[in-house]
Amino acid sequence: MKEEERSTYLYNRAKTVIPGGVNSPVRSCQAVGRSPLFIKSAQGSRIFDEDGNEFIDYVGSWGPMILGHRYPSVIAAIEKVLGRGISFGAPIDLEVALADLIVDAVKSIDMVRMVNSGTEATMSAVRLARAYTRRDNILKFDGCYHGHADTLLVAAGSGVATLGIPGSPGVPEDIARHTFSLPYNDIETFSAVMAEKGEKIAAVIVEPVAGNMGLVPPDTEFLSALRTETEKYGCVLIFDEVMTGFRLAYGGAQSLFGVMPDLTCFGKIVGGGMPVGAYGGKKKLMQMIAPAGTVYQAGTLSGNPLAMAAGIATLEELKKPRFYKDLEEKSARLSAGLVRIADLVGMPIALNRVGSMMSLFFTDRAVRNFEDAKSCDVKRFASYYRKMLENGIYLPPSQFESLFVSAAHDMTDIDQTLAAAEAVLPELVE
Ligand SMILES: *Cc1c(COP(=O)(O)O)cnc(C)c1O
């Protein structure tokens, strides 16, 4: 790889006008001991930096690009809408079309409200749950990330975990004390806390498959316990499917595990790469949102025409037969290959995968919760990241993130990735 001269120049310039040089912390690549690449363009499974280097992209804009970059029908849909205008601040047909697609796809949803990010979706779902139950407390799980709203920035995953920040300055103690965070996949602790506080809890929010402490699958019994206990105490169960929605199955993680929440949050894929979030659920809850009801939530650019068009075009592709089966086959080949290479080298790893989301953890124990994830060798991960990059593979720059396989990755991409891992893993053994 060439010296990244232009990326370095842009990063140094960026640091003078943007905090840390980036508009979202995980992009900074601090945890893997390097500076970020500035991206010039991307096409299909490939991403190109400002210095003319090409990589196989497993970040996919952190999830949305499930079809790969510049997917023809998505680009065409955006171009078509450009002919109508960029934003009207008034209802349009495309909002109804995307809402219809979501309601048809996800059984637990009768109605859905569009917002502009995953953060807005979870924040608004929590407000609705608090209004519905007339309770204040929220229960979440360590290492799950639900966006950066005050209420949810407690023991959070993703960039918060990557940077080792326990909570965040600026979140008032009065707000943080209403949020309890418990270990993921631990039914016993959860049930004990519910027995004690259940009647004071407005909502239990969870990533049904956790992707923000690295990929951590749930025990099916864990998700079932969340459903049973929340029903028992009259709490709202919120599935944050911002990452897993339309990623693991067309009906989301909830269809895969057969557990139905009261509210579901979306983002990422649902906007096809444009800034979109959404939250939805049963009519009796959703009818409480203004102007149907009194729970206030609004957005100048919500339901934006370009964003709706990209989301619709994306979901139309995902609906096609075999879409998730093909993605599963490629993802299985990648994960099996990585495990085989690590075995050959004698490198202890845990490889967690659900569908097209996976994480390679440098550890000799199973990773079932945030404690396990935090015990991993993050220094080894940093070397792995840098060496894979030198070999043309663009991975998420943190042990606490999931990688994404897209429909644009072909078997050649997967094999090229495995060849890179074959070269890199032996170099990581001391
Ligand atoms: C990405 C993510 C969010 C936040 O979405 P933004 O669009 O970045 O605000 C919330 N929850 C989960 C599970 C996510 O993966």
Atom number in ligand 1 closest to CA 240: 13
Q: Which residues of 52-66 are buried (b: 16+ CB within 10 A; e: fewer)?
A: ebebbbbbbebbbbb
Q: Is 243 in the pocket of ligand 1 (CB under 6 A)?
A: yes
Q: How far is CA 16 from CA 9, 20, 25, 299, in A?
A: 11, 8, 16, 31
Mean pLDDT by 10 residues, the chain (430 residues): 77 97 94 96 98 97 98 98 98 98 98 98 98 97 95 80 71 90 97 97 98 98 98 98 98 98 98 98 98 98 98 98 97 98 97 98 98 97 98 98 98 98 94
Query: For the domain 5-70+322-428, what is the CATH code?
Result: 3.90.1150.10
243 CA distance to ligand 1 centroid (A)?
7
HSE (side-chain half, CA atoms, 13 Å) at 62:
22
Which single residue is written with the structure tokens 């949102």?
A: 289
Sheet with strand 179-182: strands edge to edge: 111-115, 277-281, 263-266, 236-240, 201-206, 137-141, 179-182
Cβ atoms of 314 and 307 within 8 Å: the answer is no
Query: For the domain 72-318, what is the CATH code?
Result: 3.40.640.10
233 alpha carbon, distance to own chain's centre: 29
Q: Is 242 in the pocket of ligand 1 (CB under 6 A)?
A: yes
Report the pLDDT value the prediction gives residue 1, as an integer from 0 to 100: 46
**Atom 5 of ligand 1, nearest CA residue:** 118
Q: How far apart (Å, rounded) are the C-alpha atoms in residues 300 and 225?
A: 39
Cβ atoms of 20 and 28 within 8 Å: the answer is yes
Q: Is 267 in the pocket of ligand 1 (CB under 6 A)?
A: yes
Residue 24, both tokens: 């979202």
Q: How far is CA 90 from CA 70, 96, 112, 245, in A?
A: 28, 12, 17, 27
**Structural domain boundaries in the chain:** 5-70+322-428, 72-318
Active site residues: 145, 240, 268
Angle at 222 (CA atoms; ends 395, 331), nearest 5 degrees = 30
378-390 vs 411-424: helix crossing angle, rounded to 10: 120
Query: With the CA atoms of 138, 61, 254 and 246 taken in that order, what torsion angle do they form, in degrees rounded to the nearest 10?
Result: 140
Q: How far apart (Å, rounded) are the C-alpha atoms in residues 410 and 149?
A: 38
Cβ atoms of 249 and 45 within 8 Å: the answer is no
Atom number in ligand 1 closest to CA 277: 7
Q: Is 212 in the pocket of ligand 1 (CB under 6 A)?
A: yes
136 CA distance to ligand 1 centroid (A)?
22
Report the pLDDT value the prediction gives residue 429, as an integer from 0 to 100: 87
How many CB atoms are closer than 10 A to CB 23? 9
